[in-house]
Amino acid sequence: MKNFLLGLIAVGVFVATSSVFVVQEGERGIVFQFSKIQRTTDGAIRVFEPGMHFKLPLVETVRKLDAKVQTLDDPADRFVTSEKKDLLVDSYVKWKIKDFGKYYLATGGRTERAENLLKQYINNGLRTEFGTRTIQQIVSGERSELMVKAMAQASKGSDELGIEIVDVRVKKINLPDEISNNIFQRMRAERTAVAKEHRARGMEKAEVLRSDVDAKVTIMVADAERNARTTKGEGDAEAAKTYADAYSKNADFFSFVRSMEAYRNSFQNKSDVMIIQPDNEFFKHMQSMSGN
């Protein structure tokens, strides 16, 4: 009897715990009865809000769905502009479940399937918007308008999934590697040509400046040499005049002084020897002992 009571208590506890389920905040619940979705009296799928609820144990099961805003962030995809230029666009989507019954029927409650379908709608919207714009229009300020229109177009398809698209954002727009390399090479060639042009102009200006400086230096040297010759000529003339004045005042004394200077310059070294005739004019002042 005691074991029977314990069994009844255990069954009661099991039934009680199996009859209660809790839906957390940020979740919604759907109840299945033998794999059949529980519906309301008007035929709509019954969705359980956050809180404690009851179900038939062993007969009904609960499937919980995420009601929070979720992010779809896949790798960059390739889009074509109106100029037939390829772009790599990195975007993300914020979405949440709006109609849980419709969502479950369309996706089976699988997030992966929902995101795959949602990505198709978003890509179709972005592809349409990118296809009607040039690269300049996309980069120069129409990105916000592009995202709004892409979200509006994608929302038409997402409504069928019971999904609300909260936001669509384009994070980054890049050119494919092969196009980027070609652009960089062209930019590098243009910059190299500009650098060569500036370098050539600099060398030309340097040559002009160098020629101008050389010309000024040549003129300055010529002026200095001219002034030096003029000064030397004036000095020579002054010296000649001085000599002439001195000679005119006392020709004998002047001749004597010049002869002494000539002797001194000729016999600077004791070993110097000069062989000339004794009556040579050079020694005329040494031939007279009278002191005249």
Q: Quick check: is 225 in a domain?
A: no
Structural domain count of the chain: 3
pLDDT under 50 in the chain at which residues? 291
Q: Quick check: is 22 in a domain?
A: yes
Same domain, 92 and 167: yes
Give the per-residue pLDDT at 246: 72
- The last residue of a domain, from among 141, 156, 175: 175
Same domain, 59 and 97: no
Q: Quick check: is 270 in a domain?
A: yes
Give the per-residue pLDDT at 15: 65
Q: Quick check: is 200 in a domain?
A: no
- Alpha carbons 108 and 63: distance in angstroms, whole number: 10
Give the per-residue pLDDT at 80: 86
Phi/psi of residue 175, nearest 5 degrees: -85, 150
Residue range 41-93, pLDDT digits in tens: 887 888 888 988 888 887 888 888 888 999 988 788 888 888 888 888 888 88
Closest listed residue to residue 286, CA positions, set 261, 253, 260: 260
Q: Quick check: is 196 in a domain?
A: no
What's the predicted TM-score (pTM) here?
0.54
Q: Quick check: is 215 in a domain?
A: no
Give the per-residue pLDDT at 128: 86
Same domain, 41 and 26: yes
Q: Quick check: is 205 in a domain?
A: no
Same domain, 87 and 168: yes
Residue range 120-148, pLDDT digits in tens: 888 888 888 888 888 777 777 667 778 88
Q: Tell me if 151 sits within 8 A of 125, measured CB to CB.
A: yes
Q: Quick check: is 213 in a domain?
A: no
- The last residue of a domain, from among 150, 175, 200: 175
- The last residue of a domain, from among 175, 206, 232: 175
Same domain, 82 and 142: yes
Give the per-residue pLDDT at 121: 87
Give residue 62's domain range: 11-66
- Alpha carbons 92 and 112: distance in angstroms, whole number: 15
Same domain, 43 and 105: no
Same domain, 123 and 107: yes
